[in-house]
Copies of this chain bind each other. A is one copy, B any other.
Amino acid sequence: MDQKTNTQYNPVTADIRRQVGQIVGAAGILEITEAYQQDASKLRYQPEMVVAPQHVHQVQALMRLANQHRFAVTPRGGGSGLAGGCLAVHGGVVLSLRNLEPICRIDSVNLIAEVTPGIITADLKAAACAQGLHYPPDPAGMELSTIGGNAATNAGGPACLKYGTTKDYVLGLESVLPTGELIKTGTRTRKGVVGYDMTQLLVGSEGTLGILTKLFLKLIPLPPAVAGLIAAFENLPQAMRAVTAIMGNGHLPSAIEFMDVKCLDLVQDLLPFPLPQHCACLLIVETDGGPDQVRTEIKSIADVCTRSGAHQLLTADSEPERDKLWKARREVSLRIHDSAAIYVSEDVTVPLGAIADLVSVLPAFEQEYNLRIYAFGHAGDGNIHLNITASDCHQMEQVEQGIAAILRKVLQMQGTISGEHGIGAAKKRYLPMELSPASIRLQKGIKQLFDPNGILNPGKIFP
């Protein structure tokens, strides 16, 4: 049974609007600006109402009302997602968590952070850093994204390679269930095995099982030093083979990122150095740890890169140079987004040994489907962002065929169709390519159990 096809969503009538107003107060009702119709994908959906409650009890009351009147509620953080996960696909109320009891408490004795969902990821990282602590997850959108959105989507980033993704830092949650009940999950400790792991079930559920209202996050001591290098390669598969060589030589860098030459062309003005000649790909490698250790390690990694065919090594050691380089890296997808009529961001991940094979076959896909494919991302964990563009907006069907072909290839390579962006509204048609009917049936059963009326973030994940 699919609750989304069975449920009729009711419109947000004047009467409902009045009742919502009584719950959140005048200050809690926001104007339905264009921003609330979109995220960083190219999808758009019009909400009927946008609210930003300040208190958890208001979120609970809103959900009880939504169950009573059967209107859709779509939670939203920073709106920087790439899969349409925070869009009001079935209209109804968009629930911004940005103003919810802002708390960002760094507990330096217990090495945890107690955070409400609307805190911006970069602000949390800075607050931890100010106390000599480190919150490693670093999604590209971290200046815009909220920690609640990061947890809802299990956001990744370059640091995944060494430090894991958001889920590895969420120790416990407070969450409003679709029914309006508040539950606490997990612990404030580094270990805990009491009952099923409800924390990890909520993390990555893309706001379909509960509204995260508080997060307890693991922090670690801040590594005292960082060292980096940039290696230029004349061809992309060669660069990808250097990645496995780095790891195969016993190194675990804090990041191994790459940008192909198409991406580099778009952000050339932002780079802290002139682009080397004949460069098909840059690898950006960083290590963190003690000062001596990172120097030794980066030297050894430089040797591995040279032996693997890098034709030029560059450094970006000063803080401003590093910042500039990372800004360029994070800017890539925005520039691609703005460069073409059709833009689709795919987020495939393959086992490390298959990255070189995957990038080798991209030109054939470009030719067959008349696409332009930009490749960049997290080489160190096999998470390759393929930004697929076409210049003619009537080409969408061909683009979709091309994407399906690429995803089939990725799955043949034992990869996954989404490493960190999630399924949301954008990729749900592809879900059955990766998950079996039995798995989808169980997951829909879990959704039904949490949200009997199917009112929380409907139209997401399941096709």
Binding site for B on A (CB under 8 A): 107-112, 132, 153-154, 156, 160-161, 164-165, 167-168, 177, 181-185, 187-198, 200-201, 203-205, 209, 220-222, 224, 244, 247-248, 250-252, 289-290, 292-293, 296-297, 349-354, 378, 381-383, 414-423, 431, 434-436, 438-440, 442-443, 445-446, 449-450, 461
Q: How far is the CA of A201 from the CA of B177 in the complex (A)?
A: 18
| The one of B110, B160, B244, B383 that contacts A352, using a Cβ cutoff of 8 Å | B110
Question: CA A203 – CA B167 in complex, angstroms?
Answer: 14
A194 with B431, Cβ < 8 A, contacts A187-B349, A251-B221 known: yes
Query: How many copies of this chain sit in the oligomeric assembly?
Result: 2
Which B residues are CB-close (under 8 A) to A351?
107, 109-110, 112, 188-189
A276 and B181 CA atoms in complex are apart in Å by 55
Which residue of B196, B381, B415 is within 8 Å of A205 (Cβ)?
B196
Show 7 A/B contacts (Cβ-Cβ < 8 Å), sorted by A.
A110-B354, A153-B193, A184-B439, A187-B416, A188-B351, A197-B203, A220-B252
The answer to whether A191 and B156 touch across the interface, beta carbons within 8 angstroms, is: yes
B204 touches A423 (CB 8 A): no
Query: Given A168-B168, A438-B183, do A189 and B252 touch, yes or no (CB 8 Å)?
Result: no
Q: Are B439 and A183 in contact (CB under 8 A)?
A: yes
**A156-B191, A221-B250 given. 7 additional CB < 8 A pairs?**
A112-B351, A191-B420, A196-B204, A221-B247, A221-B252, A289-B293, A292-B293
Minimum CB distance partner of A297 in chain B: B290
Are the C-beta atoms of A248 and B442 separated by less than 8 Å? no
**Which residue of the partner chain B has the closest CB to A185?**
B439
B450 touches A187 (CB 8 A): no
Chain B nearest Cβ from A130, distance in angstroms: 14
Point out the residues of chain B lying under 8 angstroms from A439, CB to CB: 183-185, 195, 198
Contact of A222 among B132, B250, B450 (CB under 8 A): B250
Distance between Cα atoms of A416 and B171 in the complex (Å): 12
Q: How far is the CB of A378 from chain B (nearest CB, A)?
A: 8
Distance (whole angstroms) from the CB of A421 to the closest CB of chain B: 7
Cβ A440 vs Cβ B352 within 8 A: no
CA distance A283 to B161 in the complex (A): 31
Docked CA distance A221–B248 (Å): 8
- Which 8 pairs, one residue from A and one from B, show the smallest C-beta to C-beta distance? A191-B419, A200-B200, A109-B353, A110-B351, A190-B381, A293-B293, A192-B416, A221-B250
| Distance in angstroms between the alpha carbons of A416 and B244 in the assembled complex | 40
